[in-house]
A and B are shown apart, each in its own frame.
Chain A
Amino acid sequence: MTVKVSMKVNGKAVTGEVEERTLLVNFIRENLRLTGTHVGCDTAQCGACTIHMNGRAVKSCNILVMQAEGADIATIEGLAAADGTLHPMQEAFREHHGLQCGFCTPGMVMSAIDLVKTHPNPSEETIREQLDGNLCRCTGYHNIVKAIKAASAKVPA
């Protein structure tokens, strides 16, 4: 069975016809070809697939695309300004070397933006606790924590 879905992704209206069991992340990657959102574990453990749905960070491998019907979705591709200027969180990751292989990075950045929104001016301890849904195997988190701390002063709540 296929179903029609429609939603807003990075400010644009999109539609698609998909199998009912299709996950949101597959719709984003395969149908929309927005491959910045990654699949790392299939089980909502690693957070590489984190996107924003109606303003909240959500692991897109763990919900069906049908559940996102009518939703407002933001992915990593939608963060930078039209002129290429990076979002303050992206810029902080670059400035503080908060990424190495880049695979967990889109999910990290999307989570981090939600983190500073829900926990303004977070302590290192809060950042580490709140980041616990995103795995990074390269950076040891040290510079990710630094980047989020630095960005928290700049990201509008």
Chain B
Amino acid sequence: MGAMNYIGQAVKRKEDHRFLTGNGQYTDDISLDRMTYAVFVRSPHAHAAIKGIDASKALAAPGVVGVLTGADLERNKIAGLPCGWLITDVNGQPMKEPAHPCLAIGKARYVGDHVAVVIAETWQQAKDAAELVEVDYEVLPAVVEAVDALKPGAPALHDIAPDNKCYTWAIGDKGAVDKAFAQAAKVSTLDIVNNRLIPNAIEPRAATAVYNRSSEEYTLYVASQNPHVERLLMTAFVMGLPEHKVRVVAPDVGGGFGSKIYLYAEDVVVTFAAKQFNRPVKWTAERSESFQSDAHGRDHATKAELAMDKDGNFLALRVHTVANMGAYLSTFASCIPTILYATLLAGQYKTPAIHCEVTAAFTNTAPVDAYRGAGRPEATYVVERIVETAARDMKMDPAEIRRKNFITTFPYQTPVALLYDIGDYDATLTEAQKMADVKGYAARKADSAKRGKLRGLGYACYIEACGIAPSAVAGALGARAGLFEAGEVRVHPTGKVTVFTGSHSHGQGHETTFAQVVAARLGIAIEDVDIQHGDTGKVLFGMGTYGSRSLAVGGTAIVKALDKVIAKGKKIAAHLMEAAETDVEFADGAFKVAGTDKSIPFAQVALTAYVPHNYPHDKLEPGLNENAFYDPQNFTFPAGSYVCEVEVDPETGITTIESFTAVDDFGNIVNPMIVEGQVHGGLTQGIGQALTEGCRYDPETGQLVTGSMMDYALPRADDVPSYKIGTKVTACTHNPLGVKGCGEAGAIGAPAALMNAITDALGVRDLPMPATPQTVWRAIHKKS
């Protein structure tokens, strides 16, 4: 096969055979000799003082190995969970960072908060004994909505934040925005709620730890999106363990969507307990624990105002957002409603002045962190809902008001910090309109009306910043870690290749996409390339997979390592062919002397590197193994246009998605089959947010009302349509693959497109998500 033939091909996935035959190995599938089982005792109250814990009955129960509480961890100097991003308040003070103990100390602050853990010989014994742990709670008043938590007199969660405020942060030129508003011909305003979501990867979180007394090494198997960061945080900041004596393995992971990025209390507790009790300890979440204690997503309340001139040119955007952090700061919580949100408020538009102020509040709810899109769906929802509203206020076509305001020249510096390198927003919108047959919409609407149905059409033109992140930029914005990626290319003597990547696949298909990149570059068969990930014992370092960064950052690290392999190979080949190194070229899997027919295949150079009988020992070491770290110069900026057409039945309030068209610009595409699959999944999660999903806590008691799949409606096959997918390409200008990232786009763009369509159908200004039949029905009947 020719060298570049793998790029752009829908290569079938290498990982599928094991998943289809039941041979995948997820964390809960791992069984260790003498393994014990952990069950956590969780707070049934949203806010309660813990007066005492009596574990005597539990300790006496059959099979119980031990019980641990917060006091045990404190005594053993196990610290709380850290937050990886410092946000500085508008008054120059650091954000409030309350202690986040792995097992509660003194107080429980949300339903599901970890109070104790019971470890027993079997899971049933641990489960039974957990019921016997007696916790003396004094129930305290609770607050679950961020807006309420900020009101005077609201119950305070943490002594260091008596007003429940984590920070107020702002970006943009307030003076310029105020001035533009003063001169505006028209201002559109909208109050927007971005509903709280519960991620619900179908594989529940799980962690199994083992300690080896001979080597004094820990191994933690964990359903994680970034095992190296997990190890770093756990060893350096929480447990004080030697990092080189801890191995973290994230084997097959059954979906993440953000929820498995973070270091969780359970991971720390089982690792500690494994040494404490000298037994392997396994914990696997029940689904109700996933609902209660996985980091949730979104949960913003926003006021948005858009100033325009008389022709609908955007002059300024003013945004005030209150963001719910939950009870504690999760690993990346603080940067989601700030750095990953407000910097995207320019959208695809040349709005010259933007100001956004964000206040983040603590509440008696599960911690909130990144969930597929992480800040960017919230930003897109604000921008695309207010733009659609502005079009209606101005009586302009919603596509035309967008086109009028599109950024058309690149690079483009937005007023909210980002520098877009490239894009063609008109191209995706035009293609989406064509694929969606917008021209035929009026006829379809008339037909719906004839049948007594309401039809609506909605657009969303999103942008996202992916490929996180240039470390220097992230550091200046408060990141407490670098955000590069690492890769290693190990060429074996036979010319077969193992690649180690710091990215992690939990459904994205890296074993295939990355292998395509490697096989294409080396001109070898894809079967001869194996991609390894998810094991700190194998991979030199990694920052993990989130923010659609894997190919743009992790893939580029591999490309850089490949460049080094090829450079070294040229030297070896030059020696073998008795040619000048500068005359040696590498193409189609062979080293050639330019202008001659001399040629040596890649595998022969590999063999020479390991059997160096005829080798330039004076210039080179033997072996062919290279690694590289890549720190991106800029974010990448995937963008696209979505068109959604709905039909609403006014009798029942049921919304049917008649068609959903997504045209994305992800830059160059390595595997279109995988990219389309990512879009399908993202769209469905976005549609879930808009139509079916909504986390509810009882406002009085703080109980999680949507605590199971019976109460929290994940979209099912009959809730969503088949999609129309298209792509347009402007290649990213600053990575060698020209790629941008595709994992989150659907979840970012879909909610606004769908809600724009439903509000269009109903003729209402706004509607809360999820637009369940009841919500829609009430809106229709309130109106009439």
Contacts and interface: CB of A to CB of B under 8 A. Distances in A.
Interface of A: 19, 21, 29-30, 33-43, 45-46, 48, 75-77, 79-80, 86, 90, 93-95, 97, 99-106, 109, 124-125, 127-129, 131-132, 134-146
Contacts of B321: none
A102 B14 CA distance: 12
A101 B256 CA distance: 9
B507 A100 contact: yes
Given A100-B509, A104-B202, A80 B720 contact: no
B723 A35 contact: no
B22 A143 contact: no
Nearest to B10: A97
Contact of B681 (A21, A127, A138): A138
Interface residues of B, number: 57
B255 A137 contact: yes
A interface, by DSSP: helix, strand, loop or mixed?
Answer: loop
A77 B22 contact: yes
Contacts of A129: 717-718
B22 A131 contact: no
B680 A95 contact: no
Do most interface residues of chain B lie in helix, strand or loop, or is the interface mixed? loop
Interface string B339-365: 000000000000000000000000000
Interface stretch (B448-456, B464-472, B695-703, B707-715): B707-715
A41 B284 CA distance: 11
A137 B688 CA distance: 10
B214 interface: no
Interface stretch (B24-32, B64-72, B169-177, B625-633): B24-32
Given A21-B124, A140-B680, A140-B723, A102 B718 contact: no
Given A97-B13, A129-B718, A137-B714, A105 B19 contact: yes
B21 A136 contact: no
B724 to A, nearest CB: 10
B20 A105 contact: yes
A145 B19 contact: no
A141 B717 contact: yes
A35 B20 CA distance: 12
Contacts of A131: 716-718
B254 A102 contact: yes
18 contacts: A30-B31, A36-B24, A41-B287, A43-B708, A46-B287, A77-B21, A93-B16, A95-B12, A97-B677, A100-B507, A102-B18, A104-B202, A128-B718, A135-B202, A137-B201, A137-B714, A138-B255, A138-B677
B463 to A, nearest CB: 22
A95 B677 CA distance: 13
Nearest to A103: B254
Interface in B237-289: 252-255, 257, 284, 286-288
A137 B718 contact: no
Given A94-B12, A137-B255, A101 B709 contact: no
Contacts of B741: none
Given A40-B203, A101-B507, A132-B716, A86 B21 contact: yes
B684 interface: yes
B17 interface: yes
B722 A142 contact: yes
Counting from the closest, the 4 A-B pairs by CB-CB distance are A36-B22, A103-B254, A102-B19, A101-B507
Contacts of B288: 42
B202 A139 contact: no
B25 to A, nearest CB: 7
A144 B718 CA distance: 12
A42 B15 contact: no
B12 A137 contact: no
Contacts of A41: 287, 708-709
A149 to B, nearest CB: 10
Contacts of A127: 717
A142 to B, nearest CB: 4
B716 A138 contact: no
A43 B508 contact: no
Find the residue from A97, A109, A140 having the highest chain B CB count within 10 A.
A140
B674 A43 contact: no
Contacts of A38: 26, 202-203, 254
B130 to A, nearest CB: 15
B13 A94 contact: yes
Contact of A140 (B201, B681, B718): B681
A127 to B, nearest CB: 7
B91 interface: no
B16 to A, nearest CB: 5
B685 interface: yes
A144 B717 contact: yes
B204 interface: yes
Contacts of A79: 21
B254 A101 contact: yes
B506 interface: yes
B507 A102 contact: yes
Interface in B672-702: 673-674, 676-677, 680-685
Interface string B492-531: 0000000000000011110000000000000000000000
